[in-house]
Amino acid sequence: MNFAIMCTAFGLLIFLRKKPAKPWMQWVKGGLAAIGGASLAETGIGVWASGLLSDAGGLIADLFGTSAGLVVGVATLITTVVVCWDIGVDRKVDKPAMAGLIVLPLLFLAAVGPLADVGSGLTASIAQVGAESLGRLIGG
């Protein structure tokens, strides 16, 4: 179910990219990016991608002599700040915020410790909202 929701959300994002921009449409795109990213993180592709992010964090950590969890945690923090700043400054969901909303659930999966627990719970909740909404739309 999460794979279907992910494909639907990303397909709608691609479709809406070509439409003229209305102010409220940016918020719809942001919601679709968040639901698509959370659903991606709940699929096998998302687990594989978060493993790649964790491996990349390990390579960077080896360069600096630190742990991979710290590198992924810092990347998660930076991505969160960029998303919040981008949305907070101009009250629109621009491309950096959309990319961050898609990547954040994957970073939550790759992280370790309390950040991973809270982030994974948030990701699962958002993915469940997408599944429940689709279920209500199709009458299930």
| DSSP letters for 92-128 | S--HHHHHHHHHHHHHHHH--SHHHHHHHHHHHHHHH
| pLDDT confidence tier of residue 22, bands split at 50, 70 and 90 | confident
pLDDT per position as a tens digit, 67-105: 888 888 889 889 999 999 988 888 888 888 899 999 998
pLDDT per position as a tens digit, 31-79: 899 999 989 988 899 889 988 988 998 899 999 888 888 888 889 889 9
The 8-class DSSP code of residue 26 comes to H
CB atoms within 10 A of CB 56: 15
Q: What b/e readout covers 105-140, taking b as 16+ CB neighbours within 10 angstroms?
A: bbbbbbbeeebbeebbeebbebbebbbeebeeeeee
How many residues are there in the chain? 140
Q: 126: which 2 tokens?
A: 């958002």
pTM of the model: 0.80
Cα gap 20→50, rounded to integer Å: 33
